[in-house]
């Protein structure tokens, strides 16, 4: 099957590309072949790339690899790709449990990494920031330090006027985080919960592409995005949805008459959250 003419922008709001160890650009070709047009590419967790950061600048190597992959992906797409850069919240456990850092020291290092990510946004080389907090049980000290990191990302997002993607615990109510954002001057809708279900109070949900979740989000009619969280890791081939999933789900939603929801998830919400125009950037 080639170019199924979905006749709409098709954006995967959160996936990873690893041209060295994973499918890399072949994943982008698969996405495009099924009708995908735009990608938000999030850097892989630093330690997955063999980077054991000891200072904020050490994250630069991770970010640069993402920028390279995004440039190559953009060349292949009828639309384009954008980088989303940040520090994975799971890093705190690695720093505290395996490297013996105090939670406060881990916090400082992760905030310094976010400061470097913010430079790329400021220079126009990245679209948005990525942060969050662990989705698993942690000590109070680690939880507090993680929330400090998350709030630092919101500070940076407010300063830069950019969106912030978050990795958090599963929840349908993140209004507390939304209020942290609003207090800093970052509108709540510019905070995106990645790996979200169909219902969420507070930030904008980036809904994982389970069919029933997407139908629920479509029926709900509130702003939402669609993602796979494709990790592009050959050692975890079945761990996530593949790169073809978003265009496939768009096709299904079209056949079920959800055209308004498709426009909402692939044109209107990306414009509202990230300030991107998925129609004007579509060149054929």
Q: List the structure tokens of 41.
A: 């590419």
Cα(77)–Cα(271) distance, rounded to whole angstroms? 19
Closest contact distance (angstroms) between CB of 133 and Zn ion is 15
Structure tokens given for 24 = 């890399």
Q: Which stretch binds Zn ion (CB under 5 A): 116-124, 210-218, 222-230, 270-278?
A: 222-230
Which one, 13 or 229, has the nearer CB to Zn ion? Answer: 229
Which phi and psi angles does 174 have, rounded to 5°? Answer: -120, 40
Q: How far apart are CA 266 and CA 262, in angstroms?
A: 6
CB of 102 closer than 8 Å to CB of 142: no
Between 84 and 217, name the residue whose CB sits nearer to Zn ion. 84
> What part of residues 48-77 is at the interface with Zn ion (CB under 5 A)?
none
Per-residue mark of binding to Zn ion, 224-243 (x: CB under 5 A): -----x--------------
Smaller CB separation from Zn ion, 89 or 103 = 89
- Rounded to a whole number of angstroms, the minimum distance from the CB of residue 230 to Zn ion is 8
Cβ atoms of 158 and 186 closer than 8 Å = yes
Phi and psi, residue 75, nearest 5°: -65, -25
Closest separation in Å from C-beta 87 to Zn ion? 13
The radius of gyration computed from the CA coordinates of the chain, to the nearest angstrom, equals 18
With tokens 């993607």, the residue in question is: 165
- For residue 167, the minimal CB distance to Zn ion (Å) is 7
Q: Which lies closer to Zn ion via its Cβ, residue 108 or residue 229? A: 229
13 binds Zn ion per the rule CB under 5 A: no
* Footprint on this chain of Zn ion (rule: CB under 5 A): 229
């Amino acid at each position: 099957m080639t170019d199924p003419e979905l006749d709409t922008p098709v954006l995967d709001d959160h996936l990873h590309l690893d041209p060295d160890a994973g499918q890399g650009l072949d994943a982008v070709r698969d996405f495009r072949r099924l009708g995908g047009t735009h990608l938000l590419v999030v850097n892989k967790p630093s330690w997955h790339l063999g980077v054991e950061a000891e200072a904020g600048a050490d994250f630069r190597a991770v970010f640069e690899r993402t920028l390279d992959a995004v440039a190559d992906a953009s060349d292949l797409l009828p639309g384009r790709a954008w980088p989303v850069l940040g520090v994975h919240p799971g890093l705190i456990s690695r720093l505290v449990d395996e490297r013996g850092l105090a939670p406060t020291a881990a916090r400082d290092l992760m905030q310094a990494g976010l400061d470097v990510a913010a430079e790329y946004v400021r220079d126009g080389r990245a679209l948005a920031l990525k942060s969050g907090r662990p989705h698993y049980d942690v000590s109070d000290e680690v939880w507090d330090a993680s929330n400090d990191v998350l709030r630092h990302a919101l500070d940076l997002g407010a300063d830069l006027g950019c969106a912030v993607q978050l990795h958090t615990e599963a929840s349908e109510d993140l209004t507390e985080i939304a209020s942290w954002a609003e207090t800093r001057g970052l509108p709540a809708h510019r905070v995106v919960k990645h790996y979200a279900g169909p219902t969420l109070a507070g930030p904008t949900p980036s809904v994982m592409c389970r069919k029933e979740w997407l139908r629920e989000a479509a029926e709900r009619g509130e702003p939402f995005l669609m993602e796979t969280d494709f990790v592009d890791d050959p050692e975890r081939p079945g761990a996530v949805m593949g790169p073809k999933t978003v265009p496939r789900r768009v096709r299904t939603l079209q056949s079920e008459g959800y055209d308004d929801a498709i426009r909402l998830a692939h044109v209107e919400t990306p414009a509202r959250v990230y300030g991107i125009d998925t129609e004007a950037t579509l060149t054929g």
